[in-house]
Structure 1
């Protein structure tokens, strides 16, 4: 009979399997085995993260830009402390949203829009009405998706090492017990609680105009 864990390993290596489908299968495995940490992580990846709770691989750094109606998005240089404040972005979006941004992006980057209070601060500093944005290379978004898939593979490989394979879509009580020591640390997820980076930008990314 097929093993759900071995199927999960194969799916993690199959580029034709969508990341959302991969995560749903991993969620089924973690839920059947009652692995709460992994179940929580998978739910956040599928549905988006709550404010203040984010793995370190979802903290991105971009470049501050301003939209000039005649020249498009242009580089901006201000005081270093302002750049430090706004050039890090906490990406709380679901993997499906990130996938959409990557697939729809016609350029090599996306523009993250700022909340109104930072817009006002920026316009006051620059004495313009140019709208600011954070330009993030698309490859960094792809990197989040790749890291997520890799962590699912690490999870499935760790289960196999512990002798947890399942039979069909069922696991034995012994397998369930062996799985209880699996935590965030098992697949190297550095969870950041009460992150102070969330003030930098809005949680949702948007495609920006071409430069």
Structure 2
């Protein structure tokens, strides 16, 4: 059996560990003299360094949660809007989690035992969040991000699928290349063909992070200072009248925001409440979409369309 046939069979078999599959792909990369393919395999086997771009299938949207208390109330696992966290850390991409660990350390058994969610400890940001997510008297004890366990598990399937696509397209391009003899990227024609196959299979689906797509285009129109527009847009998205009345009071007492586009404390508390509703299912909008929708509508109200 030729090397391409072995790789194809292993990619189709869920019983063959993906690390074993990749080691065979490493041999293929060496036979082809393909630095592109070899680098990708090395990163998957050994992990992605901080200065290396992570493929889209390893990027996920995090939902943020906090626990804490003050003299009057206590919160455990309270969702907080991605937009507010991003503003506080001054990073619009902070809610994107990049999974850089070696693929062999992704344990299906541990993922199955995680009850659907995997946590990313962000306690080193607690002091930065203090007094900015809630009123100053509220003491934040824990801060973390969550991603779907199925998304992390999907890395393994993504790698298998990419390897299979690469091998199949290579076989179609070179039907007699089962043993790879004489096939090398040192030949300009082969180098161009293998590079094209690599770019369309291994990194061909690199559109963006996986998960609740808070980065998606949210088409809402709210004219500056128009409470009528703000109410109308949010009502159409299922925001209840009591919440709209509360928001109207909040924006009336905080009629403007600065160039940093940071919302005032009353609007921030309202945002946290609404995201919590989305997380609990009381508001029928996904967590990621909730944050993006509310941010877009409120920025329009404050004159930042």
TM-score interval (norm. to shorter):
0.7 to 0.9
Q: Partners in 2 of 1:187 and 1:15 — Cα distance?
A: 20
Of the three residues 111, 118, 123, the one matched with 2:119 is 111
1:10-61 Cα distance to aligned partner (Å, 9 max, x none): 1101010011111111111111111110110111011111213211221100
| Preserved contact between residue 11 and residue 161 of structure 2 (Cα < 8 Å) | yes
Larger Rg: 2
**More relative contact order, 1 or 2 (CA 8 Å, 6+ apart):** 1
1:138 corresponds to which residue?
A: 149
| Preserved contact between residue 119 and residue 132 of structure 1 (Cα < 8 Å) | yes
Q: Does 1:172 align with 2:172?
A: no
2:78 corresponds to which residue?
A: 75
**Aligned pairs for 1:4-43 within 5 A:** 4-43=3-42
2:62 corresponds to which residue?
A: 62
Matched length: 183
Q: Partners in 1 of 2:157 and 2:62 — Cα distance?
A: 19
Query: Any stretches of 5+ residues in structure 2 without a counterpart?
Result: 87-91, 207-305
Query: Any stretches of 5+ residues in structure 1 without a counterpart?
Result: 193-211
Q: Partners in 1 of 2:155 and 2:67 — Cα distance?
A: 27
Q: Partners in 1 of 2:130 and 2:201 — Cα distance?
A: 43
Aligned-pair CA distance for 1:162:
2.1
**SS at the partner of 1:152?**
helix
1:149 corresponds to which residue?
A: 160
Q: Partners in 1 of 2:121 and 2:204 — Cα distance?
A: 26
Q: Partners in 1 of 2:157 and 2:40 — Cα distance?
A: 15
* Aligned-residue RMSD, C-alpha: 2.6
Query: Quick check: which one's strand share is greater?
Result: 1
Q: Do the aligned partners of residues 190 and 9 (structure 1) sit closer, same or farther apart at CA in structure 2, a change above 3 Å counting?
A: closer
Q: Partners in 2 of 1:120 and 1:156 — Cα distance?
A: 50
Q: Partners in 1 of 2:23 and 2:130 — Cα distance?
A: 44
